[in-house]
Amino acid sequence: MKLMKGRAMTFVALSVLLLSFIALIAVMILNNGNADGSSSGRLRRVMIDGKYSVDGGEWQDTVPGKMVHTKFSKATIKGVLSESLGENQRLVIFANNIRFRLEADGKEVLSENDAKNSGREGSPGDSITDVQTSVLKGENGETELTLTLTYPYAMFSNADLSDFFRMYLTGPSGVYELLIEYSLASAILCLMICFFGLFAFPIAGSVLGGINVRYLAFSVLCFFTGFHLLVHVLHNYLPLWINDPVLCMSITETTGHLFGICALVFIKAILVEQKHKTIGNVILLLFTVMVIVLYVLNMTKVCDLYASKPYAQIIFTVCAAILAACMFREMKVNRDAKLAIFTLIPLGITLLYDTINMYLGFSDIMLFEMGAVITLIIQIIFLLCDLRRQYKETLRYQQIQRELYESRVAIMVSQIQPHFLYNSLTSIAMMCTIDPETAQEATVTFADYLRGNMDSLKQKTTVPFSKELEHLKKYLYIEKLRFGKKLNIVYDIQTENFVLPQLSIQPLAENAVKHGISKKRGGGTLTIATRETENSFEVIVSDDGKGFDVNEIKNDGRSHIGMDNVRRRLREMCGGEVKIESKIGEGTVATVILPKEGQNREDPVC
């Protein structure tokens, strides 16, 4: 019952996580829409409407909603703000990896040096600048503004200026109003992803039957994906708390590197073939070394992390493609590889799209974060399916356990029939006056026999044949006490070096005594023999009793549950079988065949 409750709680938790991912996508889309130009009360995205010149070229009309929509190293924009300025408002400027200077009527008003932090030479980093709008108002109420932008990373496409430079009109609280309005909900959802990465996936892995390496690796990937998305949502606001623009930029890039390492670890954890594991180790080592080299170059000011981003992204794409090829080769033998390839398709497509778009700049949309979220959603769906499958298997396992327990009870009961108890106790009682010493020995043997039958209820695995033989001898001792000279017992034990289910030979011996020898006038001989063949061990229980027709169906009103359970337990626990040969008037031979390949089974279910 506790297991069932644990699975239900995990199912609910993962369902909440799935809905959170869907909500995150919706919030990201809505926030991007709001941040890109819609108005919300006093929070408004503003542009400069007028003319612009790129790299000293001709002056052109600004692009509505974008100002500049072409790649540049230096751009100058002249005009007026697209929104009228009100009282007690502030102009907030977010600058990411770009330098700027804002002039009003030819007088410098703002620049990156006025920001709450300032970057090192050669690395603009991320900065936030805000100022009272009163300084932007001229004598006539409208001021001509001149904005100069310098982009030092020629390798990248910066056609979409909104990725690097944004201006907002806010209320007196300035940037914190923007944070609450546009990013707080997304940040909370990203924290939920991190939380579930830390707890939900490991808990689910344990509920699914121990530590699952694939889900453990994915839990780490889930956490760092959430952390990467959180920094992506809040990277514009990091300068509020970190007084170093280059460090702010470095944090953003570092989360991307950590995500890349975790993604490679996840893919590597899925591989099962040794050669592919070796390739995965090499790939992971090379990528990690590359990341370390990039940080050394950043600390020595040779190349900052943003400038090295295209190289890192290309190398990661190549590494991921190699590991994906290894997974593809394992699809026929590795179910996890099939699921992982399907899971990683959105991430792979968006990664390739963004890598190409980074250089060509054919679109304003970057899809990597969206692809990561979709990948996580697919993986959660697979996890829920696994949880449902394991839930059904657990129910089946519990049902089998109940059936096996009932069968062991039935076997035990079948070996202690009332008539056997009565006959045994009567025989012992008679011996008390005739031969007290033998009666005492018989009492102890009978008690040991009963104890052995009770112990069989607890036995879930096979036992050595020597233990089964010892228990069988106690049973036959009691029967010999009852039948006297009518029952002769012969042991021909050639080997004992094998195992078998407990109480699997006694039913055969009991049938031989009860239905064979006891039915024959003058009694007979019961032989217990063992032998080893090339492929199996055999236990032969034979008698020269009455015999029967093996092709005749018995309709004697009895259930024969003892023999049915013996056959099933031999088959499930050892892969064994029982063969019975009999001739009327000559006797019966029951042979238990135990394949040697089944001797190493350790099945707790059985």
Q: Closest Cα to residue 509, out of 523, 524, 527?
A: 527
- Give pLDDT tens digits for 313-338: 888 888 988 998 898 888 888 877 87
Rg over CA atoms, the chain: 41
- Give pLDDT tens digits for 531-564: 999 889 999 999 998 888 877 755 554 545 567 7
Q: What is the pLDDT of residue 157?
A: 56
Q: What is the pLDDT of residue 203?
A: 65
- Per the DSSP assignment, residues forming a β-bridge with 596 are none
Q: What is the DSSP string of 40-82?
A: BTTBEEE-EEEEEEETT---EEPBTTTB--S--SEEEEEEEES
Q: What is the pLDDT of residue 339?
A: 78
Q: What is the pLDDT of residue 65?
A: 80
pLDDT higher than 70, residue 10: no
Q: What is the pLDDT of residue 288?
A: 93
Q: What is the pLDDT of residue 115?
A: 47
Confidence band of 155 (pLDDT split at 50, 70, 90): low
Q: What is the pLDDT of residue 542?
A: 93
Confidence band of 2 (pLDDT split at 50, 70, 90): very low
Contact indicator for 269, 214 with CB cutoff of 8 Å: yes
Helix (H) or strand (E) holding 548: none
pLDDT higher than 90, residue 282: yes
In the chain, % of residues over pLDDT 70: 77
Structure-block tokens of residue 265: 């670890």
Contact indicator for 526, 540 with CB cutoff of 8 Å: no
Q: What is the pLDDT of residue 12?
A: 52
Q: What is the pLDDT of residue 37?
A: 46
Confidence band of 526 (pLDDT split at 50, 70, 90): very high
Mean pLDDT for the stretch of residues 91-110? 86
**Displacement of CA 54 from its chain's centroid (Å):** 51
Say how far apart CA 289 and CA 291 lie, in whole Å: 5
Q: What is the pLDDT of residue 578?
A: 92
Contact indicator for 372, 225 with CB cutoff of 8 Å: yes
Contact indicator for 546, 516 with CB cutoff of 8 Å: yes
Helix (H) or strand (E) holding 158: none
Contact indicator for 330, 273 with CB cutoff of 8 Å: yes
Give the CA-trace dihedral at 559, 563, 565, 571, to 10 degrees.
Answer: -140
Residue of 289 and 111 predicted with greater confidence: 289
- Give pLDDT tens digits for 41-57: 457 888 899 999 998 88
Q: Closest Cα to residue 162, out of 327, 36, 259, 23?
A: 36
Mean pLDDT for the stretch of residues 137-152? 78
Confidence band of 116 (pLDDT split at 50, 70, 90): very low
Mean pLDDT of the chain: 78
Other CB atoms within a 10 A radius of the CB of residue 365 amount to 10
Structure-block tokens of residue 235: 């990277």
Contact indicator for 250, 126 with CB cutoff of 8 Å: no
- Give pLDDT tens digits for 402-456: 666 666 555 555 555 556 666 677 777 777 877 788 878 878 887 777 777 666 6
Residue of 176 and 19 predicted with greater confidence: 176
Q: What is the pLDDT of residue 606?
A: 40
Contact indicator for 537, 464 with CB cutoff of 8 Å: no
Give Cβ neighbours of residue 26 (< 8 Å, ≥ 6 apart).
none
Structure-block tokens of residue 131: 């100022």
- Give pLDDT tens digits for 202-261: 666 565 555 667 777 878 888 888 898 889 888 888 988 888 888 888 898 999 899 889
Confidence band of 601 (pLDDT split at 50, 70, 90): low
In the chain, % of residues over pLDDT 90: 14
pLDDT higher than 90, residue 391: no
Contact indicator for 332, 272 with CB cutoff of 8 Å: no
pLDDT higher than 50, residue 90: yes
Say how far apart CA 572 and CA 317 lie, in whole Å: 49
Most confident of 12-21, 203-212, 298-307, 354-363: 298-307
